[in-house]
Amino acid sequence: MPENPIEHIDFDALNNCAISAPLISHIYTADPSAHVFNGKIYIYPSHDIDAGDAFDDLGSHFAMEDYHVLSMDHPLDTVAKDHGLALHVKDVPWAKKQMWAPDAAEKDGKFYLYFPAKDPEGIFRIGVAVSNDPAGPFVPQSEAIKGSFSIDPAVFKDDDGSYYMYFGGIWGGQLQRWRNGTFNAGSPESPVAFLPADNEPALCPQVAKLTDNLLEFAETPRDLIILDEEGKPLLQGDTDRRFFEASWMHKHEGKYYFSYSTGDTHYLCYAIGDNPYGPFTYAGRILEPVVGWTSHHSICAFNGQWYLFYHDSSLSKGVTHLRCVKVTPLEHDEKGLIKTIKPYRD
């Protein structure tokens, strides 16, 4: 068997050299989506639990079943407040299991929680639940968003008041099973089944404008193209740069920044474009790899300063599916490029 590097990590030393501490430690949380609502930071993470499911590349061990909402008066507070249960899978009529990374949005005093979950047929869909309070509890719609698929919804409000959802994830996120427009259950259950060849363009994250009530797609989702420095789409074999999961969008000085995880190579990367649909040109790395298999983030401004919300597995001493959310300042340089962050000091 290959050597397990986790067994040789001194986690006391690792936590001493980490650039930030877990925002909460009484439960395991991951995939933090952060927003400023009513002058306060609200964080919408997934809630990791140890359900005893087998580890595999389809993510079966990520068996999350509910959401908690966290809040902070300032991003650099030492701890966040847990507002308790905001939504449970048993309260979602169409969902069966695996409530993975969520996001939230606000419009006209109402708050919308967007979340992926598997339906009874084992297909990931994206749902929405509504509340009058950013901390919830949230009441889910009876059906998933029509035409939704895959995972990791991220909702971006543009300056003109339009809202866009970005989503998708390969391997266990099932994006590759939708290449022909319908779900291909297929066989075998390998996470790389149906992926393009290494020399073909990489699978793309998806983007769709939302309806005015924020409950449905206003259009058919389309590919968000990420280009290399020569203006060509990134290839599937370019695993250090191609999209895997964890979409996020922020806007800085008139430019649109689409950021994402490369998954199996463990980087957070970003690309820059001139409009919400792209195309986007690859621009670099935001975060070097963290302890734990996954990397998933959000980027949020508070009082003129940008912050990166992310996670690692330091709290559980390296258990892949038991993670903790963290935050650190993020900087754009004079050219608008994001300065790469190392999660642990040398």
| φ, ψ for residue 99, nearest 5 deg | -85, 95
How far apart, in whole angstroms, are the C-alpha atoms of residue 183 and residue 28?
Answer: 32
The tokens of 98 are what? Answer: 């695996």
Catalytically annotated residues: 31, 245
Which residues lie closer than 8 Å to 39 by C-beta, 6 or more apart? none
Query: CB–CB of 285/269 below 8 Å?
Result: yes
The pLDDT of residue 8: 60
How far apart, in whole angstroms, are the C-alpha atoms of residue 311 and residue 211?
Answer: 31
pLDDT digits (tens, 9 = 90+) for 256-297: 999 999 999 999 999 999 999 999 999 999 999 999 999 999
pLDDT-derived band at 190, boundaries 50, 70, 90: confident
How far apart, in whole angstroms, are the C-alpha atoms of residue 317 and residue 305?
Answer: 31
pLDDT-derived band at 4, boundaries 50, 70, 90: very low
The tokens of 80 are what? Answer: 């966040």
pLDDT digits (tens, 9 = 90+) for 59-113: 788 889 999 999 999 998 889 999 999 999 999 999 999 999 999 999 999 999 9
The total number of residues written for the chain in this structure: 346
The pLDDT of residue 54: 65
Query: What's the Cα-to-Cα distance from 191 to each of 244, 255, 292, 298, rounded to whole Å?
Result: 12, 34, 19, 25
113: nearest Cα among 211, 167, 31, 45: 45
Q: What is the pTM of this model?
A: 0.95
* pLDDT beyond 60 at 121: yes
CATH (residue range 5-330)? 2.115.10.20
pLDDT digits (tens, 9 = 90+) for 290-323: 999 999 999 999 999 999 999 999 999 999 899 9
The pLDDT of residue 5: 44
pLDDT digits (tens, 9 = 90+) for 68-80: 999 999 998 889 9
The pLDDT of residue 187: 67
